[in-house]
Amino acid sequence: MRAIQTLGLTKIYPGGAPACDHINLTVNQGEIFGLLGPNGAGKSTLVKMLVGLTHPTAGSARVLGFSFRELAPRRRLGYLPELFRYPPWLKAQEVLDFHARLLRVPMSREERQGLLRRVGLEAHGGERVRRFSKGMQQRLGIAAALVGHPELVILDEPTSALDPIGRHEVSQLLRELKQAGVTVFLNSHLLSDVEKVCDSVALIDKGRVLYQGFLQEALYGGVRRYRLRLGALDSEMKPRVQALFPAGMIQWSDSGETEMTVALMRQQLPDLISQLVGLGASVYEVEPDHLSLEDWFLQRLGKGNL
């Protein structure tokens, strides 16, 4: 089942270019989904449309099986805004109580304390929000998003104000949510965080979807570089190996053993190895060049090279 499905979702602000231009996205239930894109790509606008903060110019969306214009999906949805502040005169525990009342769900003291513990604020429940650092407010925001046991949690930059320990804890929390069957929609600039936890991603730029799919597919699919270490090739074998590849695809590096770098699809790798072995070459190592999400991100946006 799909947690979120958008169909041609479009937002054009008066006098401006489309912030979101016919966005078609699918987020499957139970996965951690990462929304990526540069500043001004339309990510926050998309998120705000999904939670009803911004009205779309065209298109539609279904959230947890309901139209996103209905209140029903919001009863099962938790949301952490990017730039937010809770009323400074409230205590942390009162913020959670307030959200429980908005959801019309009962919340016991133990449950409230459990939520605060989950985000590392168990000792601060009685403190007023005005005394909270930005990181503590962000933790409280995550706890508020989890009030009422949501099926879908939409987190807009949840770790932007957190230190590395906090970021690690949030990553851990997201994995726990996934294990509990909760769908997580993560909008984050911190690509290393996304890479750690996300199952699938979408990349948008200038309001358009450039890519949507599994993260592993993004990082390990398509043409990639592989470094092969072969035993020494004699002069007779070398041209036969070379003939396997179009000109320029092999970079030779002779250091006793033969080292070569090839660019090909992952699916082509077994064939290549069997051909090399068939020619009598000894294949010692096949090592993929590491492609981080950041490399992939820059490459897809035309800012970097593979």
Partner 1 sequence: MLTVMHQSLVETLRKRLLVAAGGLTFLFLLLFFLFLRWVGKPPDIADYAYAEGLTYLYLGLFAAYVMTALFAVLIFVASVSAEIDDGTLLAVLPRPIRRFQVLLGKWVGLGLVVLVYVSILFFGIVLIDQARFGSITGGPMSILAAYGDFLLEGLLVGTVTLLGSTLTATMTNGIVVSSAVLIAFLGGSLQQLGSLTNPGPAFAVIGWTTSLLIPTDALYRRALFQLLGSHAYPGALVGAGPFGAIHPPGEGMVLYSILYMAGMLMLAVWNFGVRDL
Which one among 51, 92, 96, 142 touches partner 1, defined by CB under 8 A? 51
Contact between 211 and partner 1 per CB under 8 A: no
The nearest distance, CB 96 to partner 1, in angstroms, is 12
The nearest distance, CB 176 to partner 1, in angstroms, is 22
Contact between 87 and partner 1 per CB under 8 A: yes
The nearest distance, CB 132 to partner 1, in angstroms, is 14
Contact between 220 and partner 1 per CB under 8 A: no
Contact between 98 and partner 1 per CB under 8 A: yes
Alpha carbon of 242 to those of 40, 75, 233, 284: distances in Å? 46, 62, 11, 18
- Tokens 């593979």 -> residue: 306
Q: Which region, judged by CB under 8 A, interacts with partner 1, from 83-91, 191-199, 206-214, 233-241?
A: 83-91
Chain centre to alpha carbon of residue 112: 28
Taking the least distance from each CB to partner 1, the nearer of 102 and 180 is 102
Taking the least distance from each CB to partner 1, the nearer of 80 and 204 is 80
The nearest distance, CB 52 to partner 1, in angstroms, is 6
Contact between 141 and partner 1 per CB under 8 A: yes
Q: Which region, judged by CB under 8 A, interacts with partner 1, from 96-104, 157-165, 209-217, 233-241?
A: 96-104
Contact between 99 and partner 1 per CB under 8 A: yes
The nearest distance, CB 185 to partner 1, in angstroms, is 12
β-strand pairing of 66-67 with 77-80: unpaired
SS (H, E, C) the chain: CEEEEEEEEEEECCCCCEEEEEEEEEEECCCEEEEECCCCCCHHHHHHHHCCCCCCCEEEEEECCEECCCCHHHHHEEEECCCCCCCCCCEHHHHHHHHHHHHCCCCCHHHHHHHHHHCCCCCCCCCEHHHCCHHHHHHHHHHHHCCCCCCEEEEECCCCCCCHHHHHHHHHHHHHHHHCCCEEEEECCCHHHHHHHCCEEEEEECCEEEEEEEHHHHHHCCEEEEEEEECCCCCCHHHHHHCCCCCCCCEEEEECEEEEEEEEEHHHHHHHHHHHHHCCCCEEEEEECCCCHHHHHHHHCCCCCC
Which one among 55, 110, 235, 290 touches partner 1, defined by CB under 8 A? 55
Q: Which region, judged by CB under 8 A, interacts with partner 1, from 34-42, 70-78, 175-183, 287-295?
A: 70-78
Which one among 17, 67, 101, 254 touches partner 1, defined by CB under 8 A? 101
Taking the least distance from each CB to partner 1, the nearer of 94 and 294 is 94
Which one among 8, 52, 59, 114 touches partner 1, defined by CB under 8 A? 52
Amino acid of residue 252: W
Taking the least distance from each CB to partner 1, the nearer of 23 and 233 is 23
Binding interface with partner 1 (CB under 8 A): 13, 48, 51-55, 71-72, 74-75, 77, 79-81, 83-87, 89-90, 98-99, 101-104, 141, 144
